[in-house]
C-alpha cells in the first residue's frame, strides 16, 4: 500500500464524504461483509483511509476488482477520481475544484 493512495483517500473522503458510499458499494457487490465495514468504521477516523487502501489493494490483488484506478491532479485545479470496476458494475468518485 502506498502512502500516496492513503493521502488520496484521506482527501477524497474529506471532500466528498464518500467513505460510507464506497464501503456500501463493495458490500453490494459482495466483495466485503457488514463485519468488515463495522471493523473499519469502528476505528479512529484517522485510520479509515489506511484501512480502505489496504482493503482495496487486497481486493485488486485477489482479482475481485477488475480495475482500481486513482487519478489526482493538483494543478492548475484539483481533480480527483477513484474508479472501481468489478465483474458486475463500475463506480466512480470524482471531485473537481
Phi, psi (5° rounding) for residue 92?
A: -125, 140
Distance CA 40, CA 19 (A): 10
In this predicted structure, the answer to whether residue 64 has a pLDDT above a threshold of 70 is: yes
| Pair 2, 49: CB distance under 8 Å | no
pLDDT of residue 45: 85
* Domain interval for residue 61: 3-96
Share of the chain above pLDDT 70, in %: 99
pLDDT in tens, 20-57: 999 999 999 999 999 999 999 999 888 899 999 999 99
User: How many domains is the chain partitioned into structurally?
Assistant: 1
- 1: confidence class by pLDDT, cuts 50, 70, 90: low
Amino acid at each position: 500500500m502506498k502512502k500516496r493512495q492513503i493521502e488520496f483517500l484521506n482527501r477524497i473522503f474529506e471532500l466528498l464524504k464518500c467513505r460510507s458510499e464506497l464501503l456500501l458499494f463493495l458490500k453490494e457487490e459482495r466483495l466485503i461483509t457488514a463485519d468488515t465495514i463495522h471493523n473499519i468504521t469502528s476505528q479512529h477516523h484517522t485510520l479509515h483511509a489506511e484501512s480502505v487502501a489496504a482493503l482495496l489493494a487486497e481486493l485488486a490483488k485477489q482479482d475481485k476488482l477488475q480495475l482500481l484506478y486513482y487519478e489526482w491532479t493538483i494543478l492548475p485545479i484539483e481533480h480527483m477520481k477513484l474508479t472501481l470496476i468489478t465483474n458486475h458494475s463500475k463506480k466512480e468518485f470524482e471531485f473537481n475544484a
